[in-house]
Amino acid sequence: MDQIELKVTNREILGKKVRFLRRQGITPVHLFGPGTKSMALQCDTATLQRVLAEAGRTRLIGLKLDNEKRPRNVVVREVQREPRTGESLHVDFYQVKMAEQVKVEVPVVLVGEAPALKLKENMLVQELNTLTVECLPDKIPASVGLDLSSLTESRQAVRVKDVELDKEVTVLNDPELVVVKVSVRHVEKIEEVIEEAVEEEVAEEAVETPETATLPEVEPKKE
């Protein structure tokens, strides 16, 4: 698979003034890592968006600086986004050493269907969306595929210890943590609550509007 490349340049504008860069279609980025001098950089926003979509948080990116012949191997460490629009405001790149292991968050992808879901009262609950793994940079998996076919009964679960990955990849999460499980909907309890609420409402209406009302007695007028 060809390495993804991203061209960046040195950034002199810092602090709150970077908003002027964003208006020009430029995103501020930051490079750091072990034995790496921290660098303030910038790149074209449209190009960066395409790279982020393709690389995600796990795939290696070749960061090309203007004054360097060889690209630097990096992974995305953090992306700051505008809450309303989702626009990338700032990106941190972490430079890796190809001979040293790194820790990264890898997304969990559910594969197939759980036979237990054929029963309407069962539902699937995903407890972990990512797993923390440690491996060499070129061994980072794009995702962790989790087969659901083993979930045949209610209350069954797949735990971290059940996840199978290449032997070069080590999962660092607690082995007993639940990744995904089959839970039972409490339909009966919900129906009981609804019935109780209806009964209370009917009772209140009966008090407010009685079926029979007693008229006050009126003495006959004396002439």
CATH number at residue 70: 2.40.240.10
| Same-domain pairing of 71 and 129 | no
Q: Which pLDDT belongs to residue 217?
A: 56
- The answer to whether residue 33 sits within a structural domain is yes
Mention every residue, 6+ apart, whose C-beta is less than 8 A from residue 166: 139, 141
- 92-115 confidence digits (pLDDT tens): 999 999 999 999 999 999 999 999
| Same-domain pairing of 74 and 110 | no
Q: DSSP state, 99?
A: T
- The answer to whether residue 71 sits within a structural domain is yes
49: left (phi over 0), alpha (psi -120 to 50) or beta: alpha
Number of separate domains in the chain: 2
- 59-80 confidence digits (pLDDT tens): 999 999 988 989 999 999 999 9
Q: Of 48, 78, 96, which residue sits at a domain end? A: 96
- The answer to whether residue 128 sits within a structural domain is yes
Mention every residue, 6+ apart, whose C-beta is less than 8 A from residue 65: 8, 9, 10, 41, 72
Kindly tell me if the per-residue pLDDT of 205 is higher than 90.
no
| Same-domain pairing of 87 and 28 | yes
Q: Which residue has the tokens 């759980």?
A: 114
Average pLDDT of the chain to the nearest whole number: 86
Q: Which pLDDT belongs to residue 212?
A: 47
Distance CA 123, CA 118 (A): 9
Q: What is the mean pLDDT of residues 156-173?
A: 95
Q: Which pLDDT belongs to residue 196?
A: 65
* Residue 121 CA, distance from chain mean position: 26
Q: Of 96, 119, 153, which residue sits at a domain end? A: 96
Q: Tell me the residue range of the domain where 33 lies.
A: 4-96
pTM flag (> 0.75): no
Q: Which pLDDT belongs to residue 123?
A: 94
| Same-domain pairing of 90 and 112 | no
| Same-domain pairing of 23 and 52 | yes
Kindly tell me if the per-residue pLDDT of 211 is higher than 70.
no
Residue with the larger pLDDT of the pair 173 and 86: 173
**Residue 41 near residue 25, CB atoms below 8 Å:** no
42 burial level (CB within 10 Å; 0-12, 13-18, 19+): buried
